Structure 1
């Protein structure tokens, strides 16, 4: 991920609804969620949600899959990994042991 991609991702997450959507999809894991379910869970109108989902998809932080007439959304873990790698690229001046607490904090246990 380069600087411009990272800025696009941060811009996408800088709006409260989009941040809530992203976190909801991370929690949903590999099952993802249907667009309508996301709208319902976050109490956001579907047309507003559609715009937010589009912005998040363009940022590379989420992906979608058409299932008949519906669309299922997922957190794009490759995009998330790329953003985290960008942030941690020069972590601790090459002293990996200093970065370990951060890695432990974000790792699934």
Structure 2
């Protein structure tokens, strides 16, 4: 942004020239030109708003992507742990059912052995 200073008094009859402060070389000059007569750069500073917006947008995208990847990795790990626990529980249930079945079969054999001794006939 150019800094316009109050006009310097000019020669009698001529309109006064505006004084301008160059934002690049900090020289005050009396000119109406677009560029500084000393450093030849524009009196207007270029706005870097677009670059800032792009940087913020890229940062936001990177953050969202990182959080998404982290959540996906965590979900995969939780899924693996749950599947492992389910497998362990299923194996425990199968073991308990097999143990109960063996106990039932042993009890049935014991009861069958007692039947002839009591004089009852087996069906």
TM-score range (shorter-chain normalised) is under 0.3
Larger strand percent: 1
Larger helix percent: 1
Kindly name which structure, 1 or 2, has the bigger radius of gyration based on alpha carbons. Answer: 2
The two structures have a TM-score, normalised by structure 2, of 0.20
The two structures have a TM-score, normalised by structure 1, of 0.22
